[in-house]
Chain A
Amino acid sequence: MKDDLEHRAEIAVPVTSRRKFMRTAAVTSGAGILSAGLVPIRAQESANKARLLVRPAATKDVTLFTVHVPQAALDDLKRRLAAVRWPDRGSATDWSQGVPLAKAQELIEDWRTRYNWRRAESSLNALPQFRTQIDGLGFYFIHVRSKHENALPIILTHGWPGSIIEFLQVIGPLVDPTAHGGKADEAFHVVIPSLPGFGFSDKPTEAGWRLPRIANAWAALMARLGYSRYVAQGGDLGAGVSSWMAKQRVSGLAAIHLNLPILFPPPPPPPGGYTAAEQPALAQLGKYAGDGSGYASIQATRPQTLGYGLADSPVGQAMWIYEKFQAWSDNKGDPAEAISADHMLDDITLYWLTDTAASSARVYFESFAKDFARMPIDLPVAVSIFKGDFFTPPKLWGDQTYSKLFYWNEVPNGGHFAALEQPELFVAELRKSFAQVR
């Protein structure tokens, strides 16, 4: 385990024995507190060590986890926000070149002066959080069991630039439906992991953490938690993971639900051309490829180079994400119409504090070109299309790809970050669709 730790992220940990470390971790409740003995990388020897956030080493046990970001890290963030050097306003009057300068400055000012990470931290720490090692990597997850014994276990997977933050508001309604306008037989046991390289999960030190491997890790997690029958849900990368769980027929998986299904028309194009019903989605694909996928292109090819600016500049990290809150959520031009500033900043701050710009981009390097192809699935699939998303494929493609498509609904409100934008509608979709699976 010591070797494992030393290979990790260039931070050398003075572990003398596993038992000693675990004792320390237990004493601190596995908190993410900086250990005084950590030595940063050589070039940073003069830098402020207290800014670093360290995750306690994970083991095959399921260990309680608490978030505690050192105050020094929060102070460092504020200092950086106060010293931002801005680009020029440029030539665009809209979002066509990216986040307009005025909107960027507005968000940063809010982040610097009003936003309070400790609120988000308290919310997280009010939930049961854990870490456990699977396939050599430590994974963070939230696990909330319903009081209803027959609740259906569900694993919810976020995407990029999302996080577990997206699901916090749906946990209560899913787990405790009778307190949230639902019925006891609609209850779920909820598991919400962070993807490798995101949030409080570890960052892989070796290549190979592609979507199929993550899918297997999720299956191992559910098994470790004692679930022999469960469902999986996801959008964005989470849809990819959930799809691969279904594709690989991982043990225990009964069905999946997707809010951004990875659907393309089956090749080749039909002789008469595509139908009218398919045209809008084809246009969306063309627009994404031509104008909306620059971020994916750089993340899929040079995540490390991109990572330097994002790791070193909180405004850089923020705008990299904020742009997608505007582009992909259901709004009329301003992302605040769809997602509150606090929620956006909770998510952005999580990326910033965990220094996961490069590691989260690396999932694209691993999988974007290889694991997002059209994938026929024979396990039961449910789909909710939130009409404000940037890609809303037609049911025809679902019928052509999922042999057991048992639920398809088009939700008029909400977009890419469905659970965050429309928690009630999202919960309703899961209740309705999975009623058939219980």
Chain B
Amino acid sequence: MQMKNELENRTRASAPFSSRRRFMRSAAITGGTGLLATGPVPSRAQESAKKAPLLVLPAATKDVTPFTVHVPRAALDDLKRRLASTRWPERETVGDWSQGVPLQKAQALIAYWGDKYDWRRFEARLNAFPQYRTQIDGLGIHFIHVRSPHRNALPIILTHGWPGSVVEFMEIIGPLSDPTRYGGRAEDAFHVVVPSLPGFAFSDKPMETGWDVNRIARAWATIMQRLGYDRWVAQGGDWGAGVTHALAQQRPQGLIAAHVNWQFVFPEKLPENPTPAEQRAIDGASRFANDWSGYFREQATRPQTIGYPLADSAAGQALWIYEKFQAWTDNHGNPEDALAVDAMLDDISLYWFTDTAASSARIYWENTRAGFGGLSRGRIELPMAASVFPHEIFCPPKAWAEALWPNLFYWNELDKGGHFAAFEQPKLFTEELRKAFRSRRA
């Protein structure tokens, strides 16, 4: 798109490949329970080898089936063994994070993960939420669904991104669904739906191409319909913002408004004389293109190749994600300023145990092929709300959103928080959603 070409000219960055191909292939996901696999088994090559324990998801049907997470003990033991035998590169040749996670930080994280981190604590916490799987458009989708005790609550679907997960929302589900227990008002209650994206966590991994944000958005509309909601709102950040922008454009039956904490509203043509706020947004996008997008370019072009080291090396998987917790959060140099190490490892462990490095990377490939994942999603007529957290990758000025969203009804710029807004600032984030959607209640 033109926007990308302009940035290329300014920054010598390259636009992602954007032609579209479709491969139709029927998907058949079978499996046993969430226990150690005896069913679908890796190839010949592994028959004589010691098999790494697999987590197999139960087959999803069009029913909404309750789901519980149980990672086999063998998988926990396998993780500890791998962590303990991590083979390290030498340290970086710089004194900061400019080449990636510094060796000392990396080793500290891995040591903690192996020695102190308790997956069962998190698993129990996750299982305390009602979780389900259901088959939509041929794919089993995992989601948390918490109904408010208040019948008139507003249904909301919250979509995470990469390298995030449902973990990001766990602290806000309670306050959103049961506000009076958390210092809020009954009038601000939500029925909360939190799905895992296709290829992430406990959702199935697509075996056919085509699962771009448009298709995911259609699937999300189906979930809400299947859950019986005829009037609902959508929220998202990162790829979740991509899905939410897509939902907003599709305007499925029942969707009345959307909120995004990352706004894809770059103008088609960059201003000749940008205001300071516009320049900041342009600088953010340029910095991303020039220095922050290595992972994006690799995942957008060769998600399978990068999947091999990340599927086989727990340290590799951890640090691939941990780097973003430092780069994209509101911190003073360390990710621990913004997120608790246990919380980060909750998220990382989810990727590890579900072996979703490659499948999650594929969302970049899919959307780049389809021409999405850019800086602008175009005009949206649906009523839109936005919260702008200062350490987001780029923060567009309100005028850009107003130019594309004629029904922008809520815009707030906060002074704390970054890309993982809900994860970093659950209280602020909860308050934003309450305030934003107050005007949308029936």
Q: Which residues of A contact B (CB under 8 A)?
A: 8-10, 41-44, 46-48, 51, 81-93, 96-102, 104-106, 108-109, 112, 203-207, 289-295, 297-313, 315-320, 323, 355, 357-359, 362, 365, 369
Contacts and interface: CB of A to CB of B under 8 A. Distances in A.
A10 B291 CA distance: 27
B154 to A, nearest CB: 35
A358 B310 contact: no
Given A99-B305, A304-B103, A91 B207 contact: yes
B87 A206 contact: no
Contact of B311 (A43, A86, A289): A86
Given A98-B306, A304-B102, A358-B89, A207 B298 contact: no
A291 B315 CA distance: 27
A84 B46 contact: yes
A97 B14 contact: no
Contacts of B310: 87, 309, 316
A309 B319 contact: yes
Contacts of B311: 85-87
Nearest to A321: B305
Contacts of B251: none
B145 interface: no
A357 B320 CA distance: 15
Contacts of B3: none
A297 B209 contact: no
B295 A298 contact: yes
Contacts of B100: 302-307
Contacts of A290: 14-18
A312 B89 CA distance: 8
A297 B298 contact: yes
A124 B117 CA distance: 45
Nearest to A297: B297
Nearest to B42: A86
B150 interface: no
B90 A203 contact: yes
B309 A90 contact: no
Nearest to A287: B17
Interface string B7-47: 00000101111100101010000000000000000111110
Interface stretch (B268-276, B334-342, B354-362, B379-387): B354-362
Contacts of A313: 308-309, 312-313, 316
Nearest to B54: A85
B84 interface: yes
A48 B210 CA distance: 45
Contacts of B357: 87
The 4 closest A-B pairs by CB, nearest first: A309-B316, A316-B309, A305-B100, A98-B305
A359 B90 contact: yes
Contact of B87 (A87, A104, A304, A311): A311
22 contacts: A85-B52, A85-B311, A87-B308, A87-B359, A90-B207, A92-B209, A93-B23, A98-B304, A99-B304, A204-B93, A291-B17, A294-B294, A298-B298, A299-B294, A300-B294, A304-B92, A309-B316, A309-B319, A311-B87, A313-B313, A317-B309, A323-B305
B434 interface: no
A306 B234 CA distance: 34
A362 B308 contact: no
Contacts of A92: 23, 209, 304
B89 A307 contact: yes
A358 B301 contact: no
Interface in B55-90: 78, 84-90
B341 to A, nearest CB: 16
Interface stretch (B106-114, B185-193, B225-233): B106-114
Contacts of A300: 294
A225 to B, nearest CB: 28
A346 B13 CA distance: 35
Contacts of B15: 290
A175 B133 CA distance: 67
B305 A304 contact: no
Contacts of B209: 91-92
A82 B313 contact: no
Given A84-B312, A312-B313, A358 B355 contact: no
Interface of B: 12, 14-18, 21, 23, 25, 42-46, 49-50, 52, 78, 84-94, 99-103, 106-108, 110-111, 205-211, 291-295, 297-313, 315-320, 323, 355, 357-359, 362, 365
Contacts of B42: 86, 105
Contacts of B304: 87, 90, 92, 97-101
A301 to B, nearest CB: 4
Given A308-B319, A309-B316, A90 B205 contact: yes
Given A90-B304, A289-B14, A308 B101 contact: yes
Contacts of A51: 87
Contact of B206 (A91, A93, A308, A362): A91
Given A92-B209, A92-B304, A109-B45, A41 B292 contact: no
B89 A304 contact: yes
Contact of B84 (A9, A46, A291, A297): A46
A315 B339 CA distance: 32
B355 A88 contact: yes
Given A86-B42, A298-B298, A91 B313 contact: no
Nearest to B306: A98
B89 A311 contact: yes
Contacts of A85: 52, 78, 311-312, 355
Given A98-B302, A295-B298, A311-B87, A305 B101 contact: yes
B184 to A, nearest CB: 40
Contact of A305 (B52, B206, B302, B320): B320
A289 B4 CA distance: 13
Contacts of A306: 100, 294
A82 B23 contact: no
Nearest to A290: B17
A104 B107 CA distance: 29
Q: Which of A51, A88, A112 has the most CB of B within 10 A?
A: A88
B323 to A, nearest CB: 5
Given A87-B308, A313-B308, A44 B86 contact: yes
A88 B302 contact: no
Given A44-B86, A84-B52, A98-B304, A302 B359 contact: no
A306 B316 CA distance: 8
A291 B298 CA distance: 9
Nearest to A106: B45
Contact of A293 (B14, B84, B295, B305): B14
A302 to B, nearest CB: 4
Contacts of B355: 85-88
Contacts of B302: 97-98, 294-295, 323
B84 A320 contact: no
A297 B294 contact: yes
With a 10 A CB-CB cut-off, give which of A82, A307, A357 has the most chain B CB atoms. Answer: A307
B99 A365 contact: yes
B93 A362 contact: yes
A42 B362 CA distance: 36
A75 to B, nearest CB: 13
A298 B307 contact: no
B16 to A, nearest CB: 7
Nearest to A9: B90
